[in-house]
């Protein structure tokens, strides 16, 4: 249970996130978001007389016969998207070897994405998960709504610390009734991934934001240390001065990273990597530019 002081400190962090995210969106991000993520289709607007250059397939023959002049159906783009932020708050989310934890970086990325979506007129929702789904906030508009979601990312802690991407994907498929845009924010240290992510990507456009800590890629030479698995609680004493151990560790983590990349690529899920010692804005820019290139082909 958090104390009043801890809650106040957490809310101060939320307010700082709000100011930073709004500034980033205002200065450089909103246009990138708008060009990358458009509506999911076309809505009928009105009929008008056929003009040279109009596509013949849009001619409405019933109206043409009634008016004795060729008329076409005019459409406007369906602008509003339902954006769902699916955020991993399992035990490993609280790990950070530098300044910020994965949870704090996830909250900052969610704030940037959320304010970008709201500025674009889109609704934003939240799914928090660990070994099971913890909280679902349906997509809606409004700054107060978004700030509540950011706060929940920071303060919600699971009773069981494990991670299940599978349960999160199942929940998203169940609760999202129309095709939506899903940002999955996690370190993706979970099994299974292949089938659950494949099912989700077939139902909804899915993008992966992978949050890692620098120490997860390479161990420093720090002598004998006790390593704690924050999800299983398992403690292991290791000698990090052992070069073979450090090389094996790096090889193992590289294989895990490459395995997740293969699964995401297999299902057409675009992704970006954010480190806990890194500003999340440049990787998100890269993700949006990648998405724009895919849409243009």
What is residue 122's predicted lDDT score, i.e. its pLDDT? 86
232: confidence class by pLDDT, cuts 50, 70, 90? low
Least confident window among 32-41, 43-52, 145-154, 161-170: 32-41
What is residue 39's predicted lDDT score, i.e. its pLDDT? 47
What are the start and end residues of each CATH 3.40.50.410 domain in the chain?
Answer: 80-296
pLDDT single digits (tens) 28-43: 555 666 656 554 444 4
Pairing state of beta strands 71-78 and 82-88?
Answer: unpaired
265: confidence class by pLDDT, cuts 50, 70, 90? very high
Confidence check: pLDDT of 118 > 80: yes
Please state whether 186 falls in left (phi above 0), alpha (psi between -120 and 50) or beta: beta
Q: Are 21 and 62 in contact (CB under 8 A)?
A: no
What is residue 24's predicted lDDT score, i.e. its pLDDT? 66
Q: Which of 165, 160, 170, 208 is nearest to 189 (CA)?
A: 165
User: Residue 24 has which token pair?
Assistant: 């980033």
CA distances from 196 to 47, 126, 144 (A): 43, 19, 32
**271 vs 18, residue with greater confidence:** 271
pLDDT single digits (tens) 54-68: 667 778 888 788 888
The mean pLDDT value for 260-287 works out to: 92
Which of 20-29, 153-162, 195-204 shows the highest mean pLDDT? 195-204
Percent of the chain, pLDDT > 90? 37
Average pLDDT across the chain, whole number: 83
pLDDT single digits (tens) 99-117: 888 998 999 899 889 988 8
CATH homologous superfamily of 80-296 = von Willebrand factor, type A domain (3.40.50.410)
């Amino acid at each position: 249970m958090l104390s009043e002081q801890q809650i106040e400190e957490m809310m101060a962090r939320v307010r700082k996130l709000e100011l930073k995210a709004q500034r980033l969106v205002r200065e450089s991000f909103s246009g990138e978001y708008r060009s990358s993520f458009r509506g999911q289709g076309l809505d009928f607007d009105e009929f008008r007389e056929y003009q040279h250059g109009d596509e013949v397939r849009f001619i409405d023959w019933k109206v043409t016969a009634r008016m004795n002049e060729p008329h076409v159906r005019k459409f406007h783009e369906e602008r509003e998207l339902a954006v769902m932020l699916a955020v991993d708050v399992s035990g490993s989310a609280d790990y950070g070897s530098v300044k910020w934890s994965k949870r704090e970086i996830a909250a900052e990325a969610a704030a940037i994405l959320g304010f970008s979506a709201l500025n674009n007129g889109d609704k934003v929702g939240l799914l928090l998960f660990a070994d099971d789904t913890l909280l679902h906030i349906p997509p809606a508009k409004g700054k107060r709504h978004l700030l509540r979601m950011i706060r929940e990312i920071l303060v919600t802690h699971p009773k069981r610390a494990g991670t299940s991407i599978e349960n999160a994907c199942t929940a998203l498929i169940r609760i999202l009734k129309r095709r939506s845009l899903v940002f999955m924010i996690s370190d993706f240290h979970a099994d299974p991934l292949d089938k659950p992510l494949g099912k989700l990507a077939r139902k909804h456009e899915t993008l992966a934001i992978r949050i890692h800590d620098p120490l997860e890629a390479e161990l420093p030479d720090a002598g004998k240390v006790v390593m704690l698995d924050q999800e299983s609680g398992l403690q292991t004493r290791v000698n990090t001065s052992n070069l073979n151990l450090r090389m094996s560790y790096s090889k193992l983590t590289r294989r895990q990273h490459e395995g997740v990349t293969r699964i995401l690529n297999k299902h057409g899920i675009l992704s970006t990597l954010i480190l806990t010692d890194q500003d999340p804005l440049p990787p998100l820019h890269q993700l949006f530019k990648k998405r724009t290139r895919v849409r243009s082909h």
